[in-house]
């Protein structure tokens, strides 16, 4: 009878290396104790998902905090789902969030001693390991056709038992090696399956850095480890790669917990120590029916990282926000640290909540305002040019036509102790600042007119504006404001809320109304950056021009 070794040789005659050779080629890493080796292992199947950014952020953080290594491995064995160019794009997007691997697949090249880091380039390595499993009788060629598989499934469904290729249903597990050899020589197509020795009525104890210790049914599926296209499946490739790349902690999404028994059985069959595992919670949102659900690529804009990039959120804001999901103590920490130096925060798996965190746009917006308010005018200019060049041509043309003027605009109440948080993101900035530009102001007024509080007639508006022409902007803000107050008072507006409330008929309105009339005249808006500084930026002449235009109506 054909031995397991002979069968393995028949299947992989070209494979001469052994596992020992691979162990020698990929030696244990020489790292200080406690250093973690983590990896982000995306499949090149599309855009960077917010959940994947979350995972890669944690991988990066854990490696950095421990002076370890963070690497990227491209998991491209599912060639049917591959989207050309998406691997490179994923790496470029990670870089925008300052997630730069120390090693691995970097988009357009690979760096490191443990490569190749693209799975489709590792077929030789997988074959060595699979040949070894065949030699040990722990794997076998399976000739099951699609019809046979369908048939097995139909029977299982009818009998209401667990579907899959296992135990008595794993029919090709029971061929002998002579029969296997005969079919191979005949040219029958086959895949290679792992021969499980588990039984799902048994439970195994597993430990997870996020979920703690728990029990889960043992694997008993004879899973495919090597496909007919010459590439392995995810389960097998991950085990081989994390072993030979010397990963210490596998950090991945919670959806992989269900396959953990398969992975642990593979590690055991190969006599390798499994890495630690941390399965991260999924990011959720409140769905249309009011229930929590996973962020969906199909339904939710915020599922794609590109959405935040297009909208001009500063990348630190999203990372900071995601860190609040990752560690429950982070939010308090970052407040104490005034939204700065988040790299000094010590991440810990113990502080990760088990329930999927809800994506909270409001909180992201809050972080974003904080971060944008702390940028200098130079940084704002640079960010705005970079952003608008890619996503907003109108804004790009506007800002690049006069960068110095843009800096004046954006510097209103910036670069000071408590900067104003006027801007949330760069998307929409055009509409917020266009009134500073004479032509755009004119265009707006022509189309929309200026809309004042309807309790004032045009005559009243004019009366206020004509008096406000006296305003002096050459002194400080305080003086300017006192002047506005006394102008208002002389026209019958109150600067005392209590007095006004007690007797509203006695006044035309409050000083706030006076300021609003001026604000709408100069900015077209009810809300704007600090009006005193807006006037400084526009210059007195332009302010008077805008006022006179209303007066001449
Ligand atoms: N390629 C897998 C994915 O994209 C990676 C899972 C893992 O990190 O092991 O989901």
* CA pair distance 171, 507, nearest whole angstrom: 93
Cβ atoms of 360 and 318 within 8 Å: the answer is no
C-alpha dist (Å) from residue 488 to 419, 468, 481, 491, 541? 28, 9, 10, 5, 22
4 three-state secondary structure: helix
Task: Evaluate the CA torsion angle 84, 90, 93, 95 in order and state its sign.
Answer: negative
Two tokens, residue 485: 């107050």
From the CB of 75, is ligand 1 less than 6 Å away?
A: yes
pLDDT, tens digit, 9 for 90 and up, residues 411-470: 999 999 899 999 999 999 999 999 999 999 999 999 999 999 999 999 999 999 999 999
Q: What is the structure's pLDDT at 39?
A: 98
- Residue listed under structure tokens 């596998």: 250
Task: State the distance from the centre of ligand 1 to the C-alpha of 279, rounded, in angstroms.
Answer: 11
Q: What is the dihedral of CA 81, 87, 91, 96, to 10 degrees?
A: -70
Find all residues with CB under 8 Å of 125, minimum gap 6, and list them. Answer: 22, 240, 244
From the CB of 177, is ligand 1 less than 6 Å away?
A: no
Two tokens, residue 428: 């929409």
CA atoms within 13 A on the CB side of 363: 14
From the CB of 275, is ligand 1 less than 6 Å away?
A: no
Q: What is the structure's pLDDT at 255?
A: 93
Instruction: Let me know the angle formed at the C-alpha of 257 by 254 and 261, rounded to the nearest 5 degrees.
Output: 165
Task: State the distance from the centre of ligand 1 to the C-alpha of 53, rounded, in angstroms.
Answer: 12
Task: Evaluate the CA torsion angle 521, 525, 530, 536 in order and state its sign.
Answer: negative
What is the 8-class DSSP label of residue 197?
A: -
Counting from 1 in the atom list of ligand 1, the atom nearest the Cα of 39 is: 8
Cβ atoms of 165 and 149 within 8 Å: the answer is yes
Two tokens, residue 47: 């855009």
Task: State the distance from the centre of ligand 1 to the C-alpha of 144, rounded, in angstroms.
Answer: 27
Task: State the distance from the centre of ligand 1 to the C-alpha of 277, rounded, in angstroms.
Answer: 13
What is the 8-class DSSP label of residue 357?
A: P
**Distance from the Cα of residue 455 to its chain's centroid:** 48
From the CB of 252, is ligand 1 less than 6 Å away?
A: yes
**Distance from the Cα of residue 539 to its chain's centroid:** 43
**How would you write the pLDDT of the chain (553 residues) with one tens digit per residue?**
999 999 999 999 999 999 999 999 999 999 999 999 999 999 998 889 999 999 999 999 999 999 999 999 999 998 888 888 899 999 999 999 999 999 999 999 999 999 999 999 999 999 999 999 999 999 999 999 999 999 999 999 999 999 999 999 999 999 999 999 999 999 999 999 999 999 999 999 999 999 999 999 999 999 999 999 999 999 999 999 999 999 999 999 999 999 999 999 999 999 999 999 999 998 998 888 888 888 888 888 889 999 999 999 999 999 999 999 999 999 999 999 998 899 999 999 999 988 778 899 999 999 999 999 999 999 999 999 999 999 999 999 999 999 999 999 999 999 998 999 999 999 999 999 999 999 999 999 999 999 999 999 999 999 999 999 999 999 999 999 999 999 999 999 999 999 999 999 999 999 999 999 999 999 999 999 999 999 999 999 999 999 999 999 8
Expressed in angstroms, the distance from the first to the final Cα of the chain is 105
Q: What is the structure's pLDDT at 287?
A: 81
| Phi, psi torsion values for 2, nearest 5 degrees | -65, 130
From the CB of 238, is ligand 1 less than 6 Å away?
A: yes
| Phi, psi torsion values for 207, nearest 5 degrees | -130, 140
Q: Where are the alpha helices (DSSP H) in 412-496?
A: 429-433, 438-448, 458-468, 477-490
Task: State the distance from the centre of ligand 1 to the C-alpha of 254, rounded, in angstroms.
Answer: 11
528 three-state secondary structure: coil
Counting from 1 in the atom list of ligand 1, the atom nearest the Cα of 75 is: 1
Ligand 1 site-directed mutation target among 39, 43, 72, 237, most atoms within 8 Å of CB = 43
Domains of the chain by residue range: 4-17+123-280, 309-373, 377-425, 445-551
Residue 159 preceded by cis peptide, ω within 30 = no
From the CB of 43, is ligand 1 less than 6 Å away?
A: yes
- Residue listed under structure tokens 């080796």: 37
Task: State the distance from the centre of ligand 1 to the C-alpha of 42, rounded, in angstroms.
Answer: 6
**Distance from the Cα of residue 517 to its chain's centroid:** 43
Task: State the distance from the centre of ligand 1 to the C-alpha of 443, rounded, in angstroms.
Answer: 52
* CA pair distance 66, 36, nearest whole angstrom: 6
> 525's torsion region: left (phi>0), alpha (psi -120 to 50) or beta?
beta
Task: State the distance from the centre of ligand 1 to the C-alpha of 507, rounded, in angstroms.
Answer: 68
- H-helix or E-strand containing 141? strand 139-142
From the CB of 42, is ligand 1 less than 6 Å away?
A: yes
Instruction: Let me know the angle formed at the C-alpha of 163 by 160 and 167, rounded to the nearest 5 degrees.
Output: 105
From the CB of 251, is ligand 1 less than 6 Å away?
A: no
Q: What is the structure's pLDDT at 19?
A: 98
* CA pair distance 123, 227, nearest whole angstrom: 11
Find all residues with CB under 8 Å of 120, minimum gap 6, and list them. Answer: 76, 77, 79, 231
CATH number of 445-551: 1.10.10.350
Three-state secondary structure readout of 289-350: CCCEEECCCCCCHHHEHHHHHHCCCCHHHHHHHHHHHHCCCHHHHHHHCCCCCHHHCCCCHH
* Beta-sheet pairing, 292-294 with 493-494: unpaired
Two tokens, residue 6: 């002979």
Ligand 1 site-directed mutation target among 256, 276, 282, most atoms within 8 Å of CB = 256
pLDDT, tens digit, 9 for 90 and up, residues 513-545: 999 999 999 999 999 999 999 999 999 999 999
Task: State the distance from the centre of ligand 1 to the C-alpha of 57, rounded, in angstroms.
Answer: 14
Task: State the distance from the centre of ligand 1 to the C-alpha of 39, rounded, in angstroms.
Answer: 10
Question: Which contacts (CB < 8 Å, 24+ apart) does range 390-394 have?
Answer: 391/309, 391/310, 391/312, 391/427, 392/312, 392/426, 392/427, 392/429, 392/430, 394/430
CATH number of 4-17+123-280: 3.40.50.620
172 three-state secondary structure: helix
* CA pair distance 401, 384, nearest whole angstrom: 13
From the CB of 41, is ligand 1 less than 6 Å away?
A: yes
Ligand 1 site-directed mutation target among 54, 73, 76, 252, most atoms within 8 Å of CB = 252
Ligand 1 site-directed mutation target among 119, 250, 253, most atoms within 8 Å of CB = 253
Two tokens, residue 525: 């808006």
Residue nearest to ligand 1 atom 10, measured at CA: 42
Q: Do domains 4-17+123-280 and 445-551 have the same CATH topology?
A: no
* Beta-sheet pairing, 276-280 with 249-253: parallel
* CA pair distance 173, 179, nearest whole angstrom: 11
Q: What is the dihedral of CA 20, 25, 27, 29, to 10 degrees?
A: -150
Q: What is the DSSP string of 276-291?
A: EEEEEPPPEEE-TTSS
């Amino acid at each position: 009878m054909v031995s397991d070794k002979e069968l393995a040789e028949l299947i992989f005659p070209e494979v001469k290396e052994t596992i020992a050779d691979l162990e020698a080629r990929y030696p244990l890493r020489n790292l200080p104790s406690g250093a973690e080796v983590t990896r982000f292992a995306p499949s090149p199947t599309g855009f960077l998902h917010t959940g994947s950014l979350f995972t890669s952020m944690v991988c990066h953080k854990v490696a950095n905090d421990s002076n370890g290594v963070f690497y990227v491995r491209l998991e491209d064995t599912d060639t049917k789902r591959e989207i050309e160019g998406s691997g490179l794009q994923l790496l470029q997007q990670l870089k925008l969030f300052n997630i730069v691997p120390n090693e691995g697949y970097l988009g357009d090249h690979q760096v490191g001693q443990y490569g190749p880091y693209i799975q489709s380039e590792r077929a030789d390595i997988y074959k060595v390991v699979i040949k070894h499993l065949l030699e040990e009788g722990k794997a076998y060629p399976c000739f099951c056709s699609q019809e046979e598989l369908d048939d097995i499934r139909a029977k299982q469904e009818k009998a209401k038992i667990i579907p899959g290729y296992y135990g008595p249903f794993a029919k090709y597990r029971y061929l002998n090696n002579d029969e296997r050899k005969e079919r191979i020589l005949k040219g029958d197509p086959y895949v290679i399956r792992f021969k499980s020795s588990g039984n799902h009525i048994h439970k195994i104890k597993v430990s997870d850095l996020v979920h703690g210790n728990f029990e889960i049914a043992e694997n008993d599926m004879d899973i495919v480890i090597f496909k007919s296209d010459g590439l392995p499946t995810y389960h097998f490739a991950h085990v081989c790669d994390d072993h030979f790349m010397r990963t210490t902690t596998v950090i991945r999404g919670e959806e992989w917990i269900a396959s953990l028994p398969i992975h642990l059985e593979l590690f055991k069959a190969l006599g390798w120590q499994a890495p630690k595992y941390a399965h991260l919670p999924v990011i959720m949102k409140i769905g249309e029916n009011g229930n929590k659900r996973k962020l969906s690529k199909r339904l939710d804009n915020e599922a794609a990282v590109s959405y935040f990039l297009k909208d001009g959120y500063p990348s630190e804001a999203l990372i900071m926000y995601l860190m609040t999901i990752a560690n429950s103590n982070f939010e308090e920490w970052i407040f104490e640290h005034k939204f700065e130096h988040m790299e000094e925060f010590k991440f810990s798996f113990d502080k990760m909540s088990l329930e999927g965190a809800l994506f909270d746009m409001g909180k992201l917006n809050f972080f974003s305002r904080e971060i944008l308010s702390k940028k200098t005018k130079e940084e704002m200019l640079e960010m705005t040019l970079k952003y608008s060049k890619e996503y907003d041509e109108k804004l790009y043309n506007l800002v690049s036509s006069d960068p110095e003027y843009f800096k004046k605009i954006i510097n209103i109440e910036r670069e000071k102790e408590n900067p104003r948080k006027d801007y949330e993101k760069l998307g929409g900035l055009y509409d917020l600042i266009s009134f500073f530009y004479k032509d755009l102001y004119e265009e707006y007024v022509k189309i929309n007119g200026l809309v004042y509080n309807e309790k004032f007639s045009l005559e009243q508006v004019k009366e206020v504006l004509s008096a406000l022409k006296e305003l002096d902007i050459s002194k400080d803000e305080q003086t300017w404001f006192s002047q506005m107050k006394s102008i208002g008072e002389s026209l019958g507006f109150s600067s005392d809320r209590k007095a006004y409330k007690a007797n509203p008929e006695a006044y035309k309105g409050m000083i706030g109304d006076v300021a609003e009339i001026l604000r709408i005249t100069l900015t077209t808006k009810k809300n704007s950056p600090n009006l005193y500084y807006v006037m400084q930026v526009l210059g007195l002449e332009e302010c008077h021009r805008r006022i006179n235009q209303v007066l001449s109506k």
